[in-house]
Amino acid sequence: MNGFTYSYPITVYFGEKAAAKNMAAELNKYGKTVMLAYGGGSIKKNEIYDEMMKLLKDTGKTVVEFSGIMSNPTYEKVQEGARLAKENSVDFILAVGGGSVIDCCKIVSAQARMDEDIWEAEYGKGSQPTEFIPMGAIVTAFGTGAEMNNGAVITNEDKMLKSPLWGAFYDFAVLDPEYTMTMPMKQVLSGSFDTLSHCMETYLGSPRDTNLSDEINEAVMRSVIKNIRATRNDPSDKFARSELIWASAMGENGILKLGKVTDFQAHMIEHQVGAYTDCNHGQGLAVIHPVLYRHIYKSAPEQFARLAENVWGISPDGKTREQLALEGIEALASFIKEVGLPTSFTEMNISPDTDWRAVAGSTIITPGCCKKLTQDEIYEILKECI
């Protein structure tokens, strides 16, 4: 393994009634004015909104609402939230939702304490923010693991870029499987595949030799696959959902990445597809992964073979490393089809006339991928995904 330093700033409250048991003590640490951030209003239908408002009022907070955070949050929405936080002298942000809400607030937290534009600071000057409004996350939709890191994926519509920005870590996160029971199955599948993608993209980074981080990762991937199947077969299976919500956190809490340079080339490709189309993140990853892996597996046959044997349970008997690796990729493709995820952009109603050259040309090339792709190769991958 590569050398590393490990420390983590986020307190996790996991399990049923975790908010009721722990939120008052957490909220009492912060000032009076709290921004309650959420998406399209589903938390009002499932009563989570009422629960959060009661907790906030019982602890004497003044609430400023920041609503309407969309899937694939835009940079304009970030700036709206930052203005609202500044105007109301917000002391604390409580983000209630899935990855989009949680990501958006990380950057709101930073931008609200900055005089300069955060995009220009990070991409123009290479500097990152150092002051933040403290935050807590209530996870209502799992998959992204966004509550466990300080990175956010934001769509800058003016620049036609869907790119990472770096903001604040959450002080705490509440992971209560009960809050996820109303997730539509389409969202469960999409989010859970995002978790599996995080694990695969970490696993297939370097070093390429067997190491403890990867062996832990194999167990997480097996768990995700098993519990996606269980949740699809029985959407009311609370145990399976609790396993998936923790697997989502494990994918992004740093443990699987210790000593690793991660890959995340599939993510970078999907991000730019999302900049040019209305691409659902998890579904787009499901389309891209098998195609990408058929292009690159010969550059890391041992890793792909281990994935096939230790995660997908494929026997290595009588097979070369490359044969075993390819069987693992086909097992992944079969699983995607089995659980009802899309296998092409056409199935997602993404226009074949999308400017795929522009998508490929603006895709970030990641250092951890076993094969350094060219923009032309990314273009060919995208065309095969149609």
**Would you write out the chain's pLDDT as a tens digit for each of its 386 residues?**
678 777 789 999 999 999 999 999 999 999 999 999 999 889 998 899 999 999 999 999 999 999 999 999 999 999 999 999 999 999 999 999 999 999 999 999 999 999 999 999 999 999 999 999 999 999 999 999 999 999 999 999 999 999 999 999 999 999 999 999 989 999 999 999 999 999 999 999 999 999 999 999 999 999 999 999 999 999 999 999 999 999 999 999 999 999 999 999 999 999 999 999 999 999 999 999 999 999 999 999 999 999 999 999 999 999 999 999 999 999 999 999 999 999 999 999 999 999 999 999 999 999 999 999 999 999 999 999 99
Ranges in the chain annotated CATH 1.20.1090.10: 185-385
Q: Dihedral of the CA atoms 13, 17, 22, 28 (nearest 10)?
A: 130
Ranges in the chain annotated CATH 3.40.50.1970: 11-180
H or E segment to which residue 307 belongs: helix 301-310
Give 74's DSSP letter: B
- Phi, psi for 261 (deg, rounded to 5): -100, 115
Distance of CA 320 to the CA centre of its chain: 34
The residue type found at 13 is Y
The structure's pTM equals 0.95
Q: Say if residues 11 and 172 touch (Cβ distance below 8 Å).
A: yes
Q: Say if residues 229 and 339 touch (Cβ distance below 8 Å).
A: yes
Q: Say if domain 11-180 classifies as CATH 3.40.190.10.
A: no
Q: What is the DSSP string of 170-235?
A: PSEEEE-GGGGTT--HHHHHHHHHHHHHHHHHHHTSB--S--HHHHHHHHHHHHHHHHHHHHHH-T
Two structure tokens written together for 49: 């909104």
User: What span, in angstroms and rounded, lies between the C-alpha atoms of 199 and 264?
Assistant: 10
Of the options 3.30.70.1450, 1.20.1090.10, 1.10.10.10, 3.40.50.2300, the CATH number for the domain spanning 185-385: 1.20.1090.10
